A and B are shown apart, each in its own frame.
Chain A
Amino acid sequence: DTGVSQDPRHKITKRGQNVTFRCDPISEHNRLYWYRQTLGQGPEFLTYFQNEAQLEKSRLLSDRFSAERPKGSFSTLEIQRTEQGDSAMYLCAGGQVTTEAFFGQGTRLTVV
């Protein structure tokens, strides 16, 4: 158990709807990362936070994707106007500056 929890574990949505995923790292994780993983591929980095500051967001896939970490604890990833190509596993990871990333079990999104 890495201590990183994600909710929901599975989400099925209709094309065009907005979805939001939540990630709760442990309190020691001042860094928080979001990745996307499609079938047969390794995780693809999207964005990360140090405390509440979003330090890298140029790798978000489009302007339909946004992430927040308002109090430096939990984080949310929102996808607006979902498309079928957004179907994937969305992974969150927590860590500290000097440690490796600890991954949650992910949220599997299916857009129908």
Chain B
Amino acid sequence: AQSVTQLGSHVSVSEGALVLLRCNYSSSVPPYLFWYVQYPNQGLQLLLKYTSAATLVKGINGFEAEFKKSETSFHLTKPSAHMSDAAEYFCAVSDGTGGFKTIFGAGTRLFVKA
């Protein structure tokens, strides 16, 4: 069975500081891994995804994530936080069968301080 754990329901950083949002997964098959972002009062938007090509994945708005199979991790980073990055971020894992078995983490809310 697949599962996703996001460490920390809330993360607070200062503007210009490094953003690190942690995600660990378990999957019995090679997974697809996703980060989605949800801005206030909006639906989820794809930030980036890992599909077994490059282990370092670059997404929109300067975010990137690295797939580490040995650590079963897919942490999201951004070198320099911007106020507009304040949002909720969801890590998700899927088994490639069409999305029916996509499992979402509980979410991490990112606060950015001026």
**Do A and B come from the same complex?**
no
A contacts, CB < 8 Å to B: none
